[in-house]
């Protein structure tokens, strides 16, 4: 704290990201990164961008990243006017709060959800109301209908639970809220859900947010996007152009395009993660864990006889890191990212050892 701090900064409670340790030899299952490398085409594209004419970096990138928007539009069978791109989906989400969720009525999101949402509310002074998940940790659509609100946001699959809401339930929320923007954060949808992007032509109040950080293995490149009615996209462009005209650098633009175009790599790695998730779930249930059904690249688990924080600490002593949230309702759970099969095996062996 210093007398130079603005009042806004004094009042902020910033998001605390999962740890990115500087030491190597760790089995890192704490921030839902993909255990597989990105498509080799990403590196080729980035090298070409650098190598063709190194002087390219002298020039600003395309402020609208049109080539990337066209690639995303083609992938999802929509128009480029329905696409907004940003420096990671966290940046896209920040603009969403400012552009589309800041109104007089409070916005709604689940009590257990991505912990960045309340942080954006603090930054942009957006009133919010949390809606408790059901006892089985699912979102109940009717809880989001017939309740005046300034907008609705939730991840699907939800984080950190991994639980999936079917598209029919999302439509119920959309139909119950024709005068609010409904934001579906699909960071994990490629690991087991069906995207709501197919609904954007029918619902002008739907905005779907995606990231290349998880299913495209590009957390380090920082690329995210939103899809919705062109009027919603225009609102995001207005905020972006009042904040940073060039959120995506030249390397990120070409790398993202290459990743999206390599459908085969995407499919292979996605299926590998899904298969490992099934196996890991089974192995942890054998050890007595309760594992919530997950449609994401992580699982949310609880052991009836063991304190979650103790388990996390003991795993850490064995160089395995997982995520533990000290929050109400979920402080006895661990969120574990699905790693490679070797990493999952090491985790299961360590837990077997700890529990005995
Ligand atoms: C990982 C994650 C994001 C952020 O992804 P970036 O594109 O890396 O900023 C957004 N929403 C949820 C729910 C996430 O888990």
What share of residues in the chain are helix, strand, coil (percent, to 5)?
A: 40, 15, 45
Give yes or no: residues 186 and 330 share one domain.
Answer: no
Give yes or no: residues 217 and 309 share one domain.
Answer: no
Give yes or no: residues 124 and 254 share one domain.
Answer: yes
From 230, 261, 292, give the residue that closes a domain. Answer: 261
Give yes or no: residues 334 and 238 share one domain.
Answer: no
Give yes or no: residues 88 and 130 share one domain.
Answer: yes
Q: Are strands 83-86 and 152-155 parallel, antiparallel or unpaired?
A: unpaired
Q: Is 6 among the domain residues?
A: no
Closest CA to 140 of 129, 152, 149, 131: 131
Q: Would the CB of 281 count as within 6 Å of ligand 1?
A: no
How far apart, in whole angstroms, are the C-alpha atoms of residue 139 and residue 230? 28
Q: Is 239 among the domain residues?
A: yes
C-alpha distances in Å from residue 353, one per residue of 319, 348, 356: 14, 9, 5
pLDDT at residue 17, as a whole number: 85
From 261, 281, 309, give the residue that closes a domain. Answer: 261
Whether the pTM exceeds 0.85: the reply is yes
Range of the domain at 273: 19-38+264-355
pLDDT at residue 54, as a whole number: 63
Beta-bridge partner residues of 85: 225
The gap from C-alpha 158 to its chain's centroid, in whole angstroms, comes to 9
pLDDT at residue 16, as a whole number: 87
Closest CA to 36 of 252, 164, 190, 250: 190
Pocket perturbation via mutation, ligand 1, pick of 93, 110, 162, 187 by most ligand atoms within 8 A of CB? 187
Q: Two tokens at 11?
A: 């009042």
Give yes or no: residues 136 and 192 share one domain.
Answer: yes
Number of alpha helices (DSSP H) and beta strands (DSSP E) in the chain: 11, 12
Q: Is 145 among the domain residues?
A: yes
pLDDT at residue 23, as a whole number: 80
How many domains does the structure of the chain reveal?
2
Q: Would the CB of 262 count as within 6 Å of ligand 1?
A: no
Q: Would the CB of 159 count as within 6 Å of ligand 1?
A: yes
Contact at 8 Å (CB) between 41 and 262?
yes
pLDDT at residue 18, as a whole number: 83
Q: Is 3 among the domain residues?
A: no
Give yes or no: residues 244 and 102 share one domain.
Answer: yes
Q: Is 10 among the domain residues?
A: no
Give yes or no: residues 329 and 250 share one domain.
Answer: no
The gap from C-alpha 48 to its chain's centroid, in whole angstroms, comes to 29
Ligand 1 nearest atom to the CA of residue 155, by list position:
13
Give yes or no: residues 272 and 195 share one domain.
Answer: no
Pocket perturbation via mutation, ligand 1, pick of 164, 213, 225, 300 by most ligand atoms within 8 A of CB? 213
Helices 116-124 & 89-96 angle (0-180, nearest 10):
50
Pocket perturbation via mutation, ligand 1, pick of 159, 221, 223 by most ligand atoms within 8 A of CB? 159
Closest CA to 285 of 305, 302, 308, 309: 302
What CATH number is associated with residue 96? 3.40.640.10
Q: Would the CB of 162 count as within 6 Å of ligand 1?
A: no
Give yes or no: residues 204 and 273 share one domain.
Answer: no
What CATH number is associated with residue 270? 3.90.1150.10
Ligand 1 nearest atom to the CA of residue 211, by list position:
7
Q: How confident is the prediction along the chain (356 residues), in pLDDT tens digits per residue?
A: 899 999 999 999 999 888 888 888 899 999 999 999 999 999 999 999 998 766 689 999 999 999 999 999 999 999 999 999 999 999 999 999 999 999 999 999 999 999 999 999 999 999 999 999 999 999 999 999 989 999 999 999 999 999 999 999 999 999 999 999 999 999 999 999 999 999 999 999 999 999 999 999 999 999 999 999 999 999 999 999 999 999 999 999 999 999 999 999 999 999 999 999 999 999 999 999 999 999 999 999 999 999 999 999 999 999 999 999 999 999 999 999 999 999 999 999 999 999 99
Burial class (CB in 10 A: 0-12, 13-18, 19+), 305: exposed
Closest CA to 322 of 20, 7, 22, 31: 31
Q: Would the CB of 213 count as within 6 Å of ligand 1?
A: yes
- Is residue 272 within a helix (H) or strand (E), and if so which, with residue range? helix 263-286
Q: Is 79 among the domain residues?
A: yes
Give yes or no: residues 77 and 226 share one domain.
Answer: yes
- Measured by CA distance, the residue closest to atom 14 of ligand 1 is 187
Q: Is 153 among the domain residues?
A: yes
The vertex-51 CA angle with 50 and 57, nearest 5°, equals 35
Q: Would the CB of 88 count as within 6 Å of ligand 1?
A: yes
Half-sphere exposure of 58 (CA within 13 A, CB side): 6
pLDDT at residue 55, as a whole number: 65
Give yes or no: residues 204 and 239 share one domain.
Answer: yes
C-alpha distances in Å from residue 189, one per residue of 35, 121, 136, 193: 17, 24, 20, 5
From 261, 284, 302, give the residue that closes a domain. Answer: 261
Q: Is 212 among the domain residues?
A: yes
């Amino acid at each position: 704290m210093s007398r130079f701090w603005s009042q806004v900064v004094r009042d902020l409670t910033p998001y605390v990201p999962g740890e990115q340790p500087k030491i190597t030899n760790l089995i890192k299952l704490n921030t839902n990164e993909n255990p597989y490398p990105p498509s080799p085409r990403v590196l080729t594209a980035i090298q070409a961008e650098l190598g063709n004419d190194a002087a390219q970096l002298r020039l600003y990138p395309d402020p609208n990243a049109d080539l990337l928007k066209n690639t995303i539009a083609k992938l999802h069978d929509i128009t480029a006017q329905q696409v907004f791109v940003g420096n990671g989906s966290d940046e896209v989400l920040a603009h969403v709060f400012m552009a589309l969720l800041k109104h007089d009525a409070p916005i709604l999101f689940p009590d257990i959800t991505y912990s960045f949402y309340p942080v954006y509310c603090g930054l942009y002074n957006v009133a919010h109301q949390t809606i408790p998940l059901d006892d089985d940790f699912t979102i109940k659509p009717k809880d989001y209908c017939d309740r005046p609100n300034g907008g609705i946001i939730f991840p699907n699959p939800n984080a950190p639970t991994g639980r999936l809401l079917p598209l029919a339930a999302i439509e119920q929320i959309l139909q119950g809220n024709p005068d609010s923007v409904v934001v579906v954060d699909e960071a994990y949808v490629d690991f087991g859900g069906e995207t709501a992007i197919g609904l954007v032509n029918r619902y002008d109040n739907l905005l779907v947010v995606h990231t290349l950080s998880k299913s495209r293995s590009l957390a380090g490149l920082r690329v995210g996007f939103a899809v919705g009615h062109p009027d919603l996209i225009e609102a995001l462009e207005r905020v972006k152009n009042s904040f940073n005209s060039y959120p995506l650098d030249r390397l990120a633009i070409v790398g993202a395009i290459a990743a999206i175009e390599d459908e085969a790599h995407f499919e292979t790695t996605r299926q590998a993660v899904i298969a490992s998730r099934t196996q890991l779930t089974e192995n942890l249930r054998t050890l007595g864990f309760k594992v919530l059904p997950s449609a994401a690249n992580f699982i949310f688990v609880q052991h009836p006889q063991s304190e979650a924080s103790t388990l996390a600490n003991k795993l850490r002593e064995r160089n395995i890191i997982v995520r533990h949230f000290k929050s109400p309702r979920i402080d006895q759970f661990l969120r574990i990212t699905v790693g490679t099969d070797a990493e999952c095996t090491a985790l299961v062996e360590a837990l077997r050892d700890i529990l005995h």
